[in-house]
Structure 1
Amino acid sequence: MLTYDDFMCIFHKLQTIIGLFGNSFLLYLYILKLIINQRITLIDKICINLVFSNILMVIFKGIPWAMQACNQKIFMSDIECKIIIYVQRVSRGISLCTTCLLSVFQAITITSCSPKWAMLKARVLKSIVPACAFIWVLNLLIDLVVPLHVGALRSSNNSQLTRNLGFCSIDIYAMRTLKIVIWKTLYDAVFVGLMSITSGYMVLILYRHHWQVQHIHHPSFNPSASAEIRATKFILCLMIIFVCFYSLSSIFIIVMDNSKDTKQWVVNISAFFSLIHPTISPFVLMSSDSKNASYCNVFKWTKKSYKHSSKNPELICLKL
């Protein structure tokens, strides 16, 4: 009969494997688009940014927590602990900012093309790539102080001054006195608030679209808008998943930061909630693009391409 520890070990391993598989496969689909000379859209670039942050999150948080849940002793040096915790924080922040950027982008995309919005939409769309680069720089700098208060586990550590993560320890007193928690809370609240506003706007657009579908002969109804509406629904679903589990994860983090003796089940649930979005989001993004189904059959495409190229070698030069 499986014990609680065995169940948590299997559960964390499955979550890590599914997260790595989903994000790696989605990244593979985007690479495949480039190989077959498909155009990479702006929303694809945002999703690629999100996929990279998800992969970092799953590798640097999912794998250590899975090993910890399986009672595998992890011996890390101070430098290794600093790198792991720093990448965890950075990837979490990048995921937040990128998901917010995805929400804002989709809200702007489905905005009516009136003259007063046209110039603003053009400027925003041109700023997507610089915005993705800025997100990385911002989060790399904003969490730069965190590694200073992270170290390896030592037998002499005072449990009242440090929080044991199982494989590393954090100086709780220093983190509180530097007001990092307050700063990060305000930082997160800005992006979550912006995400909520744009999500509410998209709900309004979807409601308007539903009303137009009921009156399909309405002059302003555009059948080509159905793809954008479909993508909006999936992105809105992604926003809801992120906000819900991000909020739950933040609540458990606050509980752990203010608890002298943190229970193991609280730590496990916190890790579970923090990894839900990186695990589910690639599958939601794959479902939002109907073209992904045609990219999944790579073996058929490769076989067909090979047959044509073998019959006519000049086709290889033409494709290149």
Structure 2
Amino acid sequence: MQSNDDILCILHMLQIIIGVFGNGLLLFLYGFNLVTGQRIRPIDTIFVNLFLSHIIMILFRGVPTAIQVCIQKIFLSDTECKIIVYLQRVARGLTLCNTCLLSVFQAITISSNNNKWAKLKANAPKYIVPSCVFIWVLNLLVDVVVPLHVTGPGNNTFNHLKKNLGYCSIDWHAITTSNLVMWKTLYDAVFLGLMAVSSGYMVSVLFRHKWQVQNLHNTCINPIATPETTASKVILLLMITFVCFYSVSSIFVIVMEKSKDTSQWIIHMSVIFSSLYSTLSPFVLISSDSQILSCCNIFKRKKNVLIFIH
């Protein structure tokens, strides 16, 4: 049993360290771009919001579980448990909404230049900051009643109705019998639907562009990809990654809700998969975003110059 706990402890700690490092590095790189006068793209605001939601998710979802499994004890009051679970759900909603906004904005960016889309493309960057603010306010409000059904591990009131999360307990019965589940399911479905539509549109545009280029060149040599095409492929990869981990995480949540005695392994796997997109997605961007790579090269050259001077 001790060896199982050690494995889980290592997994949680690795995920926290890698996730915070990746998201923190991207926040630093975008800040470095701003300080050095590099061109900031409108989409970078969405990325920054996405990185912040990732860090919140990793810290408030992974750290309490890591402490619980590594130290084997955790003392949280009711208030602390309510805040932690509330921020977990806010971070999950922020990740969903920001990923959806990223997909929708990129779909608008690569849309055709006809009269129907031209005005929308021109005005889209102006609505990014208001959209990000709206997303934060919306997610802070949508789960505001969840803390009412969360208690600390020392509170045994109606314990037979509560599900143990390891460090806190949540009254699934009260949540599932209320309208909260219905509204939350509808909420997720709307943003997942927007994500699916925008991603499908991007795929169709990319295929149409590839077909037109092949007809024009009539050669086997692959043409150089445009920045918009590369960005669209990266965002599509992020969409696929998000949907995969979101689906697996949702399966674990359903299993936890339906089972009378939830296994600790199910709880820990649910935590790992719910944070896995937040952990891995920064490295997808680091390896694919030309602006991040150029920023790294500039930083490397500045560092070499400083070393040479000294």
TM-score normalised by length of structure 2: 0.92
Deviations 1:103-159 (A, max 9, x none): 000111000111221112223332111000000000001111111111211263444
Distance, in Å, in 1 between the alignment partners of 2:2 and 2:260 is: 30
Shift of 1:299: 5.1
1:301 counterpart residue number: 302
More off after superposition, 64-73 vs 109-118? 64-73
2:151 counterpart residue number: 151
1:250 counterpart residue number: 250
Structure 2 SS opposite 1:160: helix
Distance, in Å, in 2 between the alignment partners of 1:236 and 1:6 is: 36
Asked if 1 retains the 8 angstrom alpha-carbon contact of 2:15 and 2:279, the reply is yes
Structure 2 unaligned blocks of 5 or more? none
1:232 correspondence with 2:232: yes
Residues 7-46 of structure 1 mapped to structure 2, 5 A cutoff: 7-46=7-46
Distance, in Å, in 2 between the alignment partners of 1:195 and 1:210 is: 22
2:206 counterpart residue number: 206
Shift of 1:241: 0.6
2:70 counterpart residue number: 70
Distance, in Å, in 2 between the alignment partners of 1:265 and 1:82 is: 23
Distance, in Å, in 2 between the alignment partners of 1:176 and 1:228 is: 43
Distance, in Å, in 2 between the alignment partners of 1:27 and 1:163 is: 36
Structure 1 unaligned blocks of 5 or more? 311-320
1:292 correspondence with 2:287: no
1:60 partner letter:
F
1:314 counterpart residue number: none
Distance, in Å, in 2 between the alignment partners of 1:234 and 1:130 is: 24
1:313 counterpart residue number: none
Distance, in Å, in 2 between the alignment partners of 1:15 and 1:248 is: 17
Residues 1-320 of structure 1 mapped to structure 2, 5 A cutoff: 3-154=3-154, 156-217=156-217, 226-297=226-297, 298=299, 300-302=301-303, 304=305
Question: Deviating runs (4+, > 4 A) in structure 1?
Answer: 305-308
More off after superposition, 96-105 vs 107-116? 107-116
Asked if 2 retains the 8 angstrom alpha-carbon contact of 1:252 and 1:266, the reply is yes
1:294 partner letter:
S
1:5 partner letter:
D
How many residues end up aligned between the 2 structures? 305
Shift of 1:191: 0.5
Distance, in Å, in 2 between the alignment partners of 1:271 and 1:99 is: 20
Distance, in Å, in 1 between the alignment partners of 2:81 and 2:301 is: 44
More off after superposition, 45-54 vs 245-254? 245-254
State the superposition RMSD in angstroms.
2.2
The 3 A distance-change label for structure 1 pair 195 and 302 is same
1:315 counterpart residue number: none
TM-score normalised by length of structure 1: 0.89
Asked if 2 retains the 8 angstrom alpha-carbon contact of 1:234 and 1:287, the reply is no
Deviations 1:26-68 (A, max 9, x none): 0000000011011221110100010000010011111112222
1:28 partner letter:
F
The 3 A distance-change label for structure 1 pair 155 and 260 is same
Shift of 1:232: 0.6
Structure 2 SS opposite 1:215: helix
Asked if 1 retains the 8 angstrom alpha-carbon contact of 2:150 and 2:170, the reply is yes
Distance, in Å, in 2 between the alignment partners of 1:306 and 1:34 is: 23
Distance, in Å, in 2 between the alignment partners of 1:35 and 1:176 is: 48
Identity of aligned residues (%): 57
Distance, in Å, in 1 between the alignment partners of 2:183 and 2:114 is: 39
Structure 1 SS opposite 2:261: coil
Distance, in Å, in 2 between the alignment partners of 1:130 and 1:117 is: 20
Structure 2 SS opposite 1:291: helix
Asked if 1 retains the 8 angstrom alpha-carbon contact of 2:108 and 2:120, the reply is no
2:287 partner letter:
S
Shift of 1:197: 1.1
1:269 partner letter:
M
Shift of 1:207: 1.3
